[in-house]
Amino acid sequence: MSNFCERRITVIYFASLVLDAGPNSDQGYEISSTSLLMHVASELFHLHVVTLGRKKYAHAMAKLLDPIGTFFSGRITSREEAHKGKDGYSKNLDHVSATVSSVLILDDTPRVWPDHQSNLITIKRYAYFPHTWQKQQMPVGSSPLETGVDSDDTLTFILSMLEKVHGDYSLAYQSTRDVDIRSILATRLMP
């Protein structure tokens, strides 16, 4: 399988899903499970950050997830590039250099992708930091950062799903060059 085929899918990655350091935070934390996820995902996909946070927040999240700048390579879109409608801001693919048929979106808020629901895998919000843990009404002092124990399987689920979708895409790509990720997601995500 050629490298071109392997990295043909673009993943839109909602950075604060993985590590929510807060919109005003420039803190950096090394978390091995997130590092592993980012490394594996970057080997399989072109990664983008699309967030409704402001530009400063978007870049802080990208730096947190990708301190060296190799995973996203500047592919970061923030609120300033988002669409604002009567129901608030929504995310779009205007700044993503890929065809819609090859874009896979991971997000914990499906309503912000009104035009791309068929490209979306809705995932559970990952809470690592104390303030995020508390926002989800979890016990104070029990966040993974505070306890050193991370029993949340969100990152494992994401990695597993990415590997399965990539495998399905690569298999289909061997037969036909006209593969649509939305068809794969429709089959893979069926109840």
Q: Give backbone dihedrals phi and psi of 120, rounded to 5 degrees, phi first.
A: -100, 135
Rounded to the nearest integer, the mean pLDDT of the chain is: 76
For the ranges 92-96, 99-103, 133-137, the lowest mean pLDDT is seen at 133-137
CATH number for position 29: 3.40.50.1000
For the ranges 34-38, 79-83, 155-159, 170-174, the lowest mean pLDDT is seen at 34-38
Question: Which residue range is the domain that position 104 belongs to?
Answer: 3-188
What is this structure's pTM?
0.78
> What is the reported pLDDT for 37?
81
DSSP the chain: --HHHHT-SEEEE-HHHH----TT-------HHHHHHHHHHHHHSEEEEE-SS-HHHHHHHHHHH-TTS-SSTT-EE-GGGSEEETTEEE--STT--S-GGGEEEEES-GGG-TT-GGGEEE-PPP--SHHHHHHTTPPTT-SHHHHS-----HHHHHHHHHHHHHHHHHHHHHH-S---HHHHHHHHT--
Q: How many domains is the chain built from?
A: 1
* Residue 136 or 80, more confident: 80
For the ranges 14-23, 47-56, 106-115, 152-161, the lowest mean pLDDT is seen at 14-23
